[in-house]
Chain A
Amino acid sequence: MCDTCGCNITPGNRELAFRLAADGAGAVTVLQSLLAENDKTAAHNRAHFDRRGVLAVNLMSSPGAGKTRLLEATIDALRGEAAIAVVEGDLETDNDAARIRAKGAPAVQITTGSACHLDAAMVHDVLHRIDLDGVDILFIENVGNLVCPASFDLGQHRNVVLLSVTEGDDKPAKYPVMFRVADSVLLTKTDLLPLLDDFDPARTEAYLRDLASVAPLLPLSAKQGGGLDGWLAWLRRELTARRGLDAGQSAASPS
């Protein structure tokens, strides 16, 4: 939704939108998203990625679901095929960025202090510290949290949400805001499934479909290397689609 054409007036607030104050005070109708400023910066970030032909992916999950482990495995698997850079978001430490650099990929760390999510401005600030020339995929590893990060557009092209099998199979029903925005849901640590008789991946998928989501649910174990193929195939498809889009855009514009 935008803040200019009136599309942010929905059946839920239409009546209110035009009900003005009756007490004689000056009443101004604004109809502006509280996230308008963030969304503006996010659009700016996205344009920056588009200009450089970079696919930007926002990784979100609870703490400890395996985001960094997934990135390590992905960098190894795509070595020589796609160049990866990473923006790491954590409350404290640059341990995760160090793990990514150890794999040979550039990484910058955002330490948010007490902030529970990344926002577009934080990502914008670190983009000046990362050279995107030659980069194919920029992963933005969000702060581990299934609530707040879902509300903030960072300028990414795709949202990927990880759910580890130790967390419970009903997470999509408990955190609909997060799982609704996922373009792909990764079921991680599936090597532990034999030990967890109360986790049913079919139930996770049913809850996900209840959110009107068409995102694929891809099971994998980044540690054991199992099931990475589905994830890598999804990523390659997105990369190809983005390259096609970028080529189309540059063909359309003479400059």
Chain B
Amino acid sequence: MHELSLCQALIEQVDSVARRHGAVAVHRIRLSIGPLSGVEPDLLAHAYALAKAGTVAENAELELVRSPVTVHCTDCGAETDVAPNRLRCGACGTNRVTLASGDELLLMHVEMTAGESRKGASHV
């Protein structure tokens, strides 16, 4: 159950982003999770509910975006979506592929209300 420790890392990152932007509240956190990250989105969502208590993200909604497993074929060049345990080119069948997507575990966005002096959207 490593999802709880990942949630604690998530909260720390969100807290640091919020502080950097002088935010008073965080509304929404968007994560990108691939099946090959080894993280179970449902478990992560449960752990998040525990980890956010008493933090700047206390009232923030967690949006989990599941990315597909996509492989790039080094033989024929095709890019195909495949099952996590079948990393073979969907076009020619070879296993000489590289993973283009599917092992992400990324904090994508944090939406928040900025403090009085730092209103508006910003980019880091």
Q: Could you tell me which A residues sit within 8 Å of B by CB distance?
A: 8, 10-13, 16-17, 20-21, 23, 25-38, 115-117, 119, 147-148, 150-152, 172-174, 176-178, 180, 207, 209-213
Among B17-72, those with CB < 8 Å from A are 17, 21, 23, 27-28, 30-32, 34, 36-39, 65, 67-68, 70-71
Given known pairs A34-B31, A172-B85, the reply for A180 and B36 (CB within 8 Å) is yes
Kindly provide the distance from the CB of B37 to the nearest chain A CB, expressed in whole angstroms. 7
B123 pairs with A28, CB closer than 8 A:
yes
Given known pairs A25-B113, A30-B109, the reply for A117 and B2 (CB within 8 Å) is yes
B109 pairs with A29, CB closer than 8 A:
yes
Bound Cα distance from A35 to B12, whole angstroms: 11
Q: What is the interface size of chain B, counting residues whose CB is below 8 A from a CB of the partner?
A: 58
Given known pairs A116-B2, A212-B97, the reply for A26 and B87 (CB within 8 Å) is no
Kindly provide the distance from the CB of B111 to the nearest chain A CB, expressed in whole angstroms. 4
The 20 sampled A-B contact pairs (Cβ below 8 Å) are: A13-B101, A20-B109, A21-B28, A28-B17, A28-B21, A28-B121, A30-B13, A31-B106, A31-B107, A32-B13, A33-B105, A34-B10, A35-B9, A117-B2, A148-B2, A176-B85, A177-B84, A207-B85, A210-B86, A212-B99
CB contact between B5 and one of A10, A33, A119, A212 (< 8 Å): that residue: A119
Kindly provide the distance from the CB of B22 to the nearest chain A CB, expressed in whole angstroms. 10
**Most-contacted residue by chain A among B21, B106, B123 (CB, 10 A):** B106
Given known pairs A25-B111, A32-B106, the reply for A11 and B100 (CB within 8 Å) is yes
> Which of chain A's residues has its CB closest to B110's CB?
A28
Would you give the 0/1 interface string for B93-109, flagging 1 where the beta carbon is closer than 8 Å to chain A? 00111111110111111
Kindly provide the distance from the CB of A204 to the nearest chain B CB, expressed in whole angstroms. 13
Question: What's the A-B contact tally at a CB cutoff of 8 Å?
Answer: 161
A34 pairs with B2, CB closer than 8 A:
no
Bound Cα distance from A109 to B12, whole angstroms: 28
B85 pairs with A30, CB closer than 8 A:
no
Bound Cα distance from A152 to B113, whole angstroms: 33
Bound Cα distance from A38 to B34, whole angstroms: 18
Bound Cα distance from A148 to B109, whole angstroms: 25
Bound Cα distance from A23 to B112, whole angstroms: 10
Bound Cα distance from A114 to B61, whole angstroms: 28
Contacts of A11 in B (CB 8 A): 70, 79, 100-101
Bound Cα distance from A147 to B3, whole angstroms: 11
B1 pairs with A116, CB closer than 8 A:
yes
A212 pairs with B121, CB closer than 8 A:
no
Given known pairs A21-B111, A30-B109, the reply for A13 and B97 (CB within 8 Å) is no
CB contact between B95 and one of A25, A116, A178, A212 (< 8 Å): that residue: A212
A177 pairs with B36, CB closer than 8 A:
yes
- Apart from A32-B106, A150-B38, list 20 A-B contacts with CB within 8 A: A8-B106, A10-B67, A11-B100, A13-B32, A13-B106, A21-B111, A25-B111, A25-B113, A26-B113, A26-B118, A26-B119, A26-B120, A27-B112, A28-B109, A33-B106, A34-B13, A115-B2, A116-B1, A212-B95, A212-B96
Contacts of B5 in A (CB 8 A): 115, 119
